[in-house]
Amino acid sequence: MLRYVTTNDGKVREAEEYLEEVVAVDYDYPEIQADSMRAIAAEGARSAYRHVEAPVIVDDAGLFIEGFDGFPGPYSSYVEDTLGVERVGRLARREDATRARFRCVVAYCDGDGFEATPEPVDTEERRGQDIAADDRGAAATDESVAEGALPVRLFAGAVPGRIVEPRGEGGFGYDPIFEHDGTTFAEMDPAEKNAVSHRGRALASFAEWFADRTP
Ligand code: ITT
């Protein structure tokens, strides 16, 4: 049985469409401080696996405002708790920095060996490649997993949009200020959001890979 380890109920509602046999586990795994969402998600999956001792996925997501060089990015949670979503929206609109994208990395770990995504330790080279690699939405593979590290498989998704005045009652987090094709994510129901969202894309590629892994 697969565990989706998160403290965020909004994520669980969206994941249900992709994951039939999944149980949500409310565990606040330690998040490492890093510029790379891939490294954060990978380490999160390892900690979550050690905690629940069963196959897990975790999902690290963030809002990247292009005119602010990707801020708040991996710090989206801290910024939501401190500045708040509406102020982030006001700042972006005031500075005319409204082009943005959401990114999500789903990380899977089951303690077994399998063809893992290259160890996303945050070296200088990997940092430069991070956005492009994540935007491709596919997990690269090679045999460079560090000895002793639990193998992790990563699945990425991204969606472009723009920052607008808050609209809508649904979703969570930054959804009311993020508009995609004329509709904010908070104006969509979970299925509509999944059809276009960063998380929907990452979960769809995970679900496809996982279906082949579990007969
Ligand atoms: P877990 O780490 O326990 O899963 P979290 O809410 O801390 O829950 P993240 O670190 O991935 O999850 O989220 C970073 C921030 O981005 C946080 O403030 C979320 O509310 C926000 N966020 C993530 N996905 C989002 C989405 O699909 N729509 C709007 N905001 C989102």
pLDDT (0 to 100) of residue 116? 65
CA-closest residue to ligand 1 atom 6: 8
- The helix or strand, by DSSP H or E, that contains position 43, with its residue range, turns out to be helix 37-52
Residue 24 CA to residue 15 CA, distance in Å, equals 10
Q: Residue 45's closest CA among 106, 113, 134?
A: 106
CA–centroid distance, residue 118 to ligand 1 (Å): 24
pTM (predicted TM-score): 0.86
- Helix 37-52 / helix 124-136 crossing angle, nearest 10 deg: 80
Atom of ligand 1 lying closest to residue 77 CA? 18
- For 186, phi and psi rounded to 5 degrees? -75, -15
Question: Which residue numbers are catalytic?
Answer: 60
CA-closest residue to ligand 1 atom 17: 77
Atom of ligand 1 lying closest to residue 60 CA? 11
CA–centroid distance, residue 37 to ligand 1 (Å): 12
CA-closest residue to ligand 1 atom 5: 8
The ligand 1 site (C-beta within 6 Å) comprises 6-8, 11, 28, 59-62, 76-77, 80, 102, 171-175, 185, 199
pLDDT in tens, 100-140: 999 999 999 998 766 666 654 433 333 334 434 444 333 33
Atom of ligand 1 lying closest to residue 193 CA? 27
- Mean pLDDT is lowest, of 28-32, 42-46, 197-201, for 28-32
**Which domains does the chain possess?**
2-213 (3.90.950.10)
Which of 22, 32, 172 has the most ligand 1 atoms within 8 A of CB, as the residue to mutate? 172
Percent of residues, the chain, with pLDDT higher than 70: 82
With contact defined as beta carbons under 8 Å apart, do 58 and 141 qualify? no
Atom of ligand 1 lying closest to residue 7 CA? 3
- Mean pLDDT is lowest, of 111-115, 140-144, 169-173, for 140-144
CA–centroid distance, residue 60 to ligand 1 (Å): 7
CB burial of residue 57 (10 Å; 0-12, 13-18, 19+): buried
Residue 183, helix vs strand vs coil = strand
